[in-house]
Amino acid sequence: TVTLLRMVLLTLLGYSALALVAYRIYSAVYNVVFPYFLGTPVDLHKKAGAKWAAVTDATDGIGKAYATALAKKFKFELFQKFNVFLISRTQSKLDETKKEIEAVAPGVEIKTFAFDFGATTRAAYEPLLSELRAIELGILVNNVGYSFEYPEILHATEGGLERLAGMTTIISLPPVLLSAVALEQMSKRKAGIVINIASGAAYHEASHWNVYSAAKRFVLHLSGILRTEYAPAGVTVQCISPMLVATKMAKIRRSSFFVPSADAFVAQALRSVGLVGETTGCYAHQILVEAVNALPALARDSIINKHTLVMHDGALAKRAKKMNDALEGRKNA
Q: Are residues 333 and 212 in the same domain?
A: no
Q: Are residues 57 and 100 in the same domain?
A: yes
Q: Which residue range(s) make up the domain with 328?
A: 295-333
- Yes or no: say if 63 and 55 are a contact pair by the CB < 8 Å rule: yes
Per-residue pLDDT at 74: 57
What is the dihedral angle through the alpha carbons of 174, 175, 179, 181, rounded to the nearest 10 degrees? -10
Handedness of CA 131, 136, 142, 143 (dihedral sign): negative
Q: Are residues 242 and 159 in the same domain?
A: yes
Whether this model's pTM surpasses 0.85: yes
Per-residue pLDDT at 329: 73
Q: Are residues 204 and 328 in the same domain?
A: no
- Residues 316, 318, 320: CA angle, nearest 5 degrees: 70
Q: Report the number of distinct structural domains present in the chain.
A: 2
Smallest CA-to-CA distance from 152 within 201, 209, 202, 200 is with 209
Smallest CA-to-CA distance from 271 within 74, 49, 104 is with 74
> Does residue 309 lie in a domain region?
yes
> Does residue 6 lie in a domain region?
no
DSSP string, 285-321: HHHHHHHHHTS-HHHHHHHHHHHHHHHHHHHHHHHHH
Helix orientation angle between 91-104 and 61-71, rounded to the nearest 10 degrees? 40
> Does residue 102 lie in a domain region?
yes
Q: Are residues 126 and 67 in the same domain?
A: yes
Q: Using CA atoms, how far apart are residues 116 and 93, in angstroms rounded to an integer?
A: 13
Smallest CA-to-CA distance from 89 within 171, 144, 158, 132 is with 144
Q: pLDDT by residue for the chain (333 residues), tens digit each?
A: 778 888 888 889 989 999 988 999 999 999 999 999 999 999 999 999 999 999 999 999 999 999 999 999 655 545 569 999 999 999 999 999 999 999 999 999 999 999 999 999 999 999 999 999 999 999 999 999 999 989 999 999 999 999 999 999 999 999 999 999 999 999 999 999 999 999 999 999 989 999 999 999 999 999 999 999 999 999 999 999 999 999 987 788 899 999 999 999 999 999 999 999 999 999 999 999 999 999 999 999 999 999 999 999 998 998 888 888 777 777 776
Q: Are residues 213 and 231 in the same domain?
A: yes
Per-residue pLDDT at 79: 55
> Does residue 271 lie in a domain region?
yes
> Does residue 19 lie in a domain region?
no
- Yes or no: say if 251 and 311 are a contact pair by the CB < 8 Å rule: no
Cα 274 to Cα 82, 239, 259, 277, distances in angstroms: 17, 11, 24, 7
- Yes or no: say if 45 and 270 are a contact pair by the CB < 8 Å rule: no
Q: Are residues 245 and 309 in the same domain?
A: no
> Does residue 8 lie in a domain region?
no
Q: Using CA atoms, how far apart are residues 63 and 222, in angstroms rounded to an integer?
A: 20
Smallest CA-to-CA distance from 219 within 252, 236, 241, 234 is with 241
Q: Are residues 210 and 133 in the same domain?
A: yes
Q: Given 203, 212, 230, 283, which residue is catalytic?
A: 212
H or E element in which residue 174 lies: helix 160-189
Per-residue pLDDT at 73: 65
Smallest CA-to-CA distance from 83 within 128, 41, 138 is with 138
Q: Using CA atoms, how far apart are residues 290 and 252, in angstroms rounded to an integer?
A: 23
> Does residue 25 lie in a domain region?
no
Q: Are residues 117 and 182 in the same domain?
A: yes
Per the annotation, the verdict on 212 as an active-site residue is: yes
> Does residue 30 lie in a domain region?
no
Q: Are residues 172 and 204 in the same domain?
A: yes
- Residue 174: give its domain's CATH number: 3.40.50.720
Per-residue pLDDT at 207: 92
Q: Are residues 283 and 308 in the same domain?
A: no
Q: Are residues 255 and 305 in the same domain?
A: no
